[in-house]
Amino acid sequence: MNKLAAVVALLVAMSSRGWTQSGELRLCLRAEPKTLNPMQVLDEPSETIRYLTGGVLLRVNRVTQQVEPELATSWRVSKDGRSISFKLRDHVFFSDGTPFTSADVDYTVKQMMDPAMHSPTGDAFRSGSGEVVTHIISPTEVTITFPAPVAGVDRQFDQVAIMSATSPKKELAVLGPFYLADRKSGAYVLLNRNPNYWKKDAMGRQLPYLSSVRLDVQPNRDIETLKLRRGEIDLINSIDAEFYDKLRGTSPQLVHDAGPSLDTEQMWFNQVAKAPIPDYKKAWFRSTAFRRAVSQAINRADLCRIAFLGRATPAVGPISPANKFWFDSKLVTPRYDPDSALRLLQSDGFHQQDGALVDRTGNPVEFSIITNAGNKYRERMATMIQQDLAKIGVKVNVVTLDFPSLIERMSQTFQYEAVLLGLTNVDWDPNGQMNVWLSTSENHQWNPKESAPETQWEAELDRLVREQAQSMDLKKRKRCFDRVQEIVYEQLPFIYLVNKNALSAYSTSLTGVSPSILRPQTYWNVEMISKQ
């Protein structure tokens, strides 16, 4: 009798809140989330939890790419780009009933910018030295002032989950569509519908439609795909080309290809002066003609067709052609031309001897490419590049290493010759790549932490990225970044190979899913997803 009463009470509560739908969304996490603190999120599983539970002031619509109001009903960026003012929604509560006010925004910003916290989320706002100041105007109005302009400052708030300043539950009190209900280490995370979620649909019904989200920890993609086929999970947010292909053959209604993503796969040569590699190899790697020849000798179309089963596009540069605004349309895909590559090498003093390429001092051209073990696509690409370069007499040794060893070689010991890796872009705005182009940065991968730019073109890159980061004028930023792309295209510090397609898969029992190429591709509008 008590149970029946409880069920009836729940149904009444649901209907009074307008919840007419229910259902549990099930998906997999590739690893256990490392943190529930939204300010410390670094790994993808933690980012998933943050996205599903965190309420943000503004959100980037992953399909239209426009910034939309969320917890803030309106916002204004100052002309100098140093401050942003928000008008907050009224009568909004955290999942535990604590009211949401501008004090929570103030608290969140303080946490984010606290130097002792080293918040990765805060790094996007660290445009200059000095303090970030929050000025509370009223419980629903707040202004945040930065020491220097922050490029695309409004878009950055898509990543900032507002924390409660007063709730005893700390980061477990959330403003997003779901809250953490249960968790078993290494097994699953269960999120339940937030009873205090502020959003309603166009008909005035309470969101989210789903009653819960269950995330099972499953590192193996084979098993993840099997679970989807069996109906044990409802979606795979990002599926590999191989599994996409297999699912398409058996269940085409489940898969979706959103086209080229923003991510790139590239290789680069070690240009570090103090690297423990022979000087003659350093000379090769520092030669622009050598890098161009290698680029021309690689058959990118084959890489896309074979390594990625057709689910990739030959890359042009650091910006994917899918990023229509920022992509420099003057640039074209590098041509596959081994004969031209050989001519270029000959002009640089190389020549062929018994089928092998040798340099001017008689050293046979041989180098190793390292990549991370376990990534089938990179292993395939490296092996295909090995054959492509063999045609021009270059001997390539493919070595797969575990990730920590790879990182140590790349960033500490510099004991490598060439690397094949990828870059993940989470936003359209290329300002997020700034640390790749700045010569003083640790992420300036071909030659990290230069005390001063070692080449003219690197000095020019430094100047351009700094200029675009400080400007609020989108056209000016676009001009700067177009020039960055052109320099990179000419000098090839990175040899860009492919842009993978954004592939996903989801059950036909779900409605409201709008796959995009920006992360999270399928559940970015989770509150609008329903399940039959």
Partner 1 sequence: MRTLHIASIALLLIVAFGALFADKVAPASYAYQFREAPNASPSWTHPLGTDDLGRDRFSRTLYGTRISLALAPLAALLSIVLAAMVGGIAGFLGGWPERVAMAATDLFLCLPWLFLLLMVRSLLPLNAAPLTSVLITFLTLGLLGWAAAARVICTEAREFRISDVLLQARATGQHGWRLLAVQFVPKLRPVLLAQFLISIPVFILSEANLGILGMGVAEPLPSWGSLLRELDSLSSFAGEWWKLVPLGLLVMVVTSFQVLLSREDVAL
Partner 2 sequence: MLKRLAIRVVAIVVTILVGLLVSATMVRMAPGFESDEHQLDAHLSPETIASLKAHRLANRKLASFYLTYIKHSVRGDLGYSTALGRPVREVIGERIAETLKICSFGIGVGCTLGFLLAFVTGMSRSSAWDVLVGGIASLFLCIPIAALALIFVLIRRPAGLAIAAVIFPTVYRYARNVLARTFAMPHVITAMAKGCGPIRVLTWHVIPVCAAQFMAIAGISVSLALSASIPIESLCGIPGIGQLALQSALARDLPVLVTLTVVIATITIFANSLSDLVPATVRSRQS
Footprint of partner 2 (CB under 8 A): 31-32, 34-35, 42-43, 115, 118-120, 123-124, 126, 184-187, 216-220, 222-223, 226, 402-412, 421, 423, 426, 432-436, 441-443, 445
CA-to-CA distance for 121 and 154, rounded, in angstroms?
14
Taking the least distance from each CB to partner 1, the nearer of 192 and 383 is: 383
Q: Does 386 bind partner 1 (CB under 8 A)?
A: yes
Binders of partner 1 in range 216-245 (CB under 8 A) = 222, 225-226, 242-243
Nearer of residues 182 and 402 to partner 1, judged by Cβ: 402
H-state helical runs in 238-365: 241-250, 279-286, 288-297, 300-302, 338-347
Token reading at 282: 């350093």
Site for partner 1 in 302-331 (CB under 8 A): 302, 305-306
Collect all residues with Cβ–Cβ distance below 8 Å to 163 and sequence separation of at least 6.
Answer: 38, 39, 104, 107, 108, 111, 170, 171, 173
Assess contact for 488 and 217: CB atoms under 8 A. Answer: no
With b for 16 or more beta-carbon neighbours within 10 A and e for fewer, the 409-430 pattern comes to bbeeebebbbbbbbbebebbbb
Q: Which residues contact 85 (CB under 8 A, 6 or more apart)?
A: 75, 76, 78, 141, 142, 143, 144
Q: Which CB atom, from 347 or from 440, has the smaller least distance to partner 2?
A: 440
Question: Under the criterion CB under 8 A, does residue 104 sit at the interface with partner 1?
Answer: no
Residue closer to partner 1, measured from CB, 130 or 276: 276
Residues 388-417 that bind partner 1 (CB under 8 A): 397-402, 405, 415-417
- Nearest-angstrom CA–CA distance, 125 and 487: 27
Residue 379 binds partner 1, judged by CB under 8 A = yes
Q: Which is nearer to partner 2, 2 or 185 (CB)?
A: 185
Q: Indicate which of partner 2, partner 1, none lies near residue 387 (CB less than 5 to 8 Å, by partner kind).
A: partner 1
Interaction between residue 380 and partner 1 (CB under 8 A)? yes
Question: Alpha-carbon distance 120 to 124, whole Å?
Answer: 8
Q: Assign residue 35 a region (left: φ > 0; alpha: ψ between -120 and 50; beta: otherwise).
A: beta
Q: Report the nearest approach of partner 1 to the CB of residue 247 (Å).
A: 9
* DSSP E strand boundaries for 307-416: 312-314, 351-353, 356-358, 366-372, 395-401
How, if at all, do strands 133-138 and 141-145 pair? antiparallel
Query: Please, what is the minimum distance in Å from the beta carbon of residue 419 to partner 2?
Result: 10
Q: Is the dihedral of CA 294, 300, 301, 307 positive or negative?
A: positive
Nearest distance from C-beta of residue 312 to partner 2, angstroms:
21
Q: Which residue, 344 or 495, is less far from partner 2 as judged by CB?
A: 495
User: H helices within 17-142, ranges in order?
Assistant: 44-53, 102-113
The item of partner 2, partner 1, none sharing an interface with residue 373, based on CB under 5 to 8 Å by kind, is partner 1
Whether residue 208 is preceded by a cis peptide bond, meaning omega within 30 degrees of 0, is yes
Residue 382 contact, options partner 1, partner 2, none, Cβ 5-8 Å cut-off depending on partner type: partner 1
**Residue 13 interaction partner, one of partner 1, partner 2, none, beta carbon < 5-8 Å per kind:** none
7/42 with CB nearer partner 2: 42
Q: Does 74 bind partner 1 (CB under 8 A)?
A: no
Q: Considering CB distances under 5 to 8 angstroms, the limit depending on partner class, which of partner 1, partner 2, none binds residue 306? A: partner 1
Q: Tell me which residue of 340, 339, 345, 336 sits closest to 365, measured CA to CA.
A: 345
280 vs 403 by CB, closer to partner 2: 403
**DSSP letter (8 states) at residue 351:** E
216 touches which of partner 1, partner 2, none (CB within 5 to 8 A by kind)? partner 2
Choose the one of partner 1, partner 2, none that binds residue 466, judging by a C-beta under 5 to 8 angstroms depending on kind. none
Q: CB 37 → partner 2: shortest distance, Å?
A: 9
370 binds partner 1 (CB under 8 A): yes
Phi, psi of 163 (to 5 degrees): -105, 155
Q: Which does 511 bind (CB under 5 to 8 A by kind): partner 1, partner 2, none?
A: none
For partner 1, the closer of residues 213 and 384 by Cβ is 384
DSSP-assigned beta bridge partners for residue 384: none
- Separation of CA 294 from chain center: 28
134 is a site residue for partner 1 (CB under 8 A): no
What is the rounded distance in angstroms from the CA atom of residue 268 to the CA atom of residue 186? Answer: 36
Q: How far is the CB of 399 from partner 1 (least distance, A)?
A: 5
The DSSP code sequence of 104-125 is: HHHHHHHHHH-TTTT-TGGGGG
CB of 408 to partner 2, least distance (A): 5
Give me the least distance between CB of 341 and partner 1, in Å please. Answer: 18
Q: What is the rounded (10 degree) CA torsion for 99, 103, 105, 107? A: -110
Min dist. Cβ of residue 130 to partner 1 (A) = 43
Tokens of 343: 């001519």
Q: From the list partner 2, partner 1, none, which binds 225 (C-beta under 5 to 8 Å, kind-based)?
A: partner 1
User: 520: cis peptide before it, omega within 30°?
Assistant: yes
Binds 219, which of partner 1, partner 2, none (CB < 5 to 8 A, cut-off by type)? partner 2
Contact footprint for partner 1 (CB under 8 A): 222, 225-226, 242-243, 246, 302, 305-306, 366-368, 370, 373-374, 379-380, 382-384, 386-387, 397-402, 405, 415-417
